[in-house]
Amino acid sequence: MSDFMDFLRHKYAYVARGEFKPGKFDEAKELFDRAIATYTQGFEGAYLLQEPDTDRGIAVIFWDTPEDMDANRNETVEEILAQMSHLFAKPPETAFYEVSSEIHKPVAVEA
């Protein structure tokens, strides 16, 4: 029964859309990677997307539960986010979503 309940449970995604000051995307990426490396409990993965030839991007971080995201906020993460804040051209737009559909590329089975 627990396998079935796991199937019904949805992941959550924290999404941030933002624009960095000119030439600051790479510095922000390094800080993003450092923050992500600290995540453990309930962390399911992350993407940082960059619009080509711009300093605009979208960060998507996947969690098992909203509480897991809160549990991973620690002093190190707060320090990294503080270092990142001055790189933004304006404050990012953020939102939290329930993942309603997840589709993976099929794995080929060799005969």
pLDDT value at residue 6: 54
How many whole angstroms separate alpha carbon 10 and alpha carbon 111? Answer: 33
Q: How far apart are the first and last CA of the chain?
A: 32
For 29-44, write each residue's pLDDT tens digit. Answer: 999 999 999 999 999 9
pLDDT at 8 over 70: no
pTM of the model: 0.85
Q: Which fold has domain 10-98?
A: Alpha-Beta Plaits (3.30.70)
Distance CA 34, CA 78 (A): 11
Domain boundaries, the chain: 10-98
